[in-house]
Amino acid sequence: MRVVLAPMEGVLDHLMRDLLTQVGGYDLCVTEFVRVVDQVISDKGFYRLCPELINAGVYGCTTKVGTPVRVQLLGQEPDYLAENAVKAIELGSQGIDLNFGCPAKTVNKSRGGAILLKDPENLYRIISAVKAAVPHDAIVSAKMRLGYEDKNLALENAQAVQSAGANELTIHARTKVEGYKPPAHWQWIAKIKEQVTIPIIANGEIWNLADAEQCRLVSNCTDIMVGRGALAVPNLAKIIKRENTKMPWQEVRLLLAKYTEYETSGAKNKYYPNRIKQWLKYLKLQYVEADELFSEIRTLKTAQAIQEKL
């Protein structure tokens, strides 16, 4: 079984990837999406969202503890996506992931993310172009939802992904319209798995060991991807692999302190108040203490004031 850390725009950045992979249990990380429009992104643009590329030539594109990192691209133009995929691989990315799942309105309005699930033929063109452009041994994966408004094209989209030559497919078991509302329809992943042969990674509504085991049973998948659950319980991957039990709050507090040190000493210092509050919103789903701490810092505006509370 592999446990993959999900790409979450504005949440699971390189600092959080570093922190959570240090806790352990993750076999792969996928970056926040790199938006591709009509040009090849500069080295600096790739380094901004995936700093792990900077020393990829020496250490490989990994987090500090050696967990592989794969760049995710989002766009709708096959040729530009292909050119940027080549660039990302040349910089050292451990494969390319293509985003067909982002539900954000601004992304969908500009023909990116989940809206592409309305057009299986375009999925095929995009993946075919990327696969043809990158080296033969480079992994090309895709992440999709079950559809946009409904699930009518779920099988056709998955078949298009496979026919185009993708090496693996992650399926978030909800439509764009369903967003993040429970339940996740893991049984649909099993239906898709009956029709395609490439490896499938199951994703959606995995918060604990019981969820992970039920997801694997219902979806008939070995590998799973976790996102929000990983933020709510930082050692979720190890729990899922039965290597550990839920991290006690005292250890979570140490992680919060470490994350604070990361955020306030780097270029993202000005975002720290929002970032720490955002993480606490997830943590309070599993820890009463996080709810109490969030209440104490909710109205604080500066990093210094929040640090003092912590």
The active-site residue out of 29, 50, 61, 102 is 102
The dihedral region occupied by 148, where left means phi > 0, alpha psi between -120 and 50, and beta the remainder, is: alpha
Q: Please give the structure tokens belonging to residue 112.
A: 């990116």
Distances (CA, A) of 262 to 66, 174, 230, 266: 18, 34, 19, 6
Closest CA to 278 of 73, 202, 266, 263: 263
DSSP 90-158: HHT-SSEEEEE----HHHHHTT-GGGGGG-HHHHHHHHHHHHHHS-TTS-EEEEEES-SSSSTTHHHHH
How far is Cα 280 from Cα 274, in angstroms, rounded to an integer?
10
* 235: DSSP letter: T
215 given a catalytic annotation: no
Q: Please give the structure tokens belonging to residue 286.
A: 């599993």
Residue 231 · residue 15 · CB < 8 Å: no
Helix 120-133 and helix 78-91, axial crossing angle in degrees, nearest 10: 40
Distances (CA, A) of 182 to 58, 170, 279: 43, 18, 20
| Integer Rg of the chain from CA | 19
Looking at the DSSP assignment, which residues form a beta bridge with residue 69? 29
How far is Cα 101 from Cα 129, in angstroms, rounded to an integer?
19
Would strands 168-172 and 140-145 be described as parallel, antiparallel, or unpaired? Answer: parallel
How far is Cα 306 from Cα 310, in angstroms, rounded to an integer?
6
Tell me the catalytic residues: 102
